[in-house]
Amino acid sequence: MTRDEMIDLVRTYFAAVDGEDLPGVLATLTEDCRFTVETHGVELTGHEAISGMFRRLWGQHEAVLHDRFTFVVDPEHDRIAARFKVTNTHQGGRLVHKSNCNFFTVRDDRFDSVAVYMAGENTLDRA
């Protein structure tokens, strides 16, 4: 993938996350994608486990928003890093702001690994 295609894939992934579009999220991930939250000891593999994580995230929040992206792209090695801001709107309207980084690897035009480094409370849990 080119640099711009990799950035577009990240933007597509986060648009689906923010839109609570599970098929859209899964379309950006390989079937055997490894998803980790490095700062909180979470490791998930495959669409089923990752789907459960997103369902829990969306069920615990009125909204999530990822924006203000900065990218570091390494197309030769199929890697991209994204730094961004997160706004979580909890049930009842309480806002939590975070600064996060994700590191992605790409295989067959989809992410085969996502490593999350998250400030503050863990909103992406196993169960």
Q: How confident is the model at residue 36 (pLDDT cuts 50, 70, 90)?
A: very high
pLDDT at 123: 72
DSSP state letters, 14-69: HHHHHTT-HHHHHHTEEEEEEEEETTTTEEEESHHHHHHHHHHHHHHEEEEEEEEE
Q: What is the tens place of the pLDDT at every residue in 39-95?
A: 999 999 999 999 999 999 999 999 999 999 999 999 999 999 999 999 999 989 999
Task: For residue 102, give the CATH number of its domain.
Answer: 3.10.450.50
Residue 10 covered by a domain: yes
Residue 62 covered by a domain: yes
Residue 33 covered by a domain: yes
Q: What is the tens place of the pLDDT at every residue in 13-28?
A: 999 999 999 999 999 9
Residue 71 covered by a domain: yes
Residue 127 covered by a domain: no
Residue 124 covered by a domain: no
Q: How many domains does the chain have?
A: 1
**Residue-number span of the structural domain to which 89 is assigned:** 3-118
93-113 burial code (b ≥16 CB/10 A, e <16): eeeeeeebbbbbbbeeebbbb
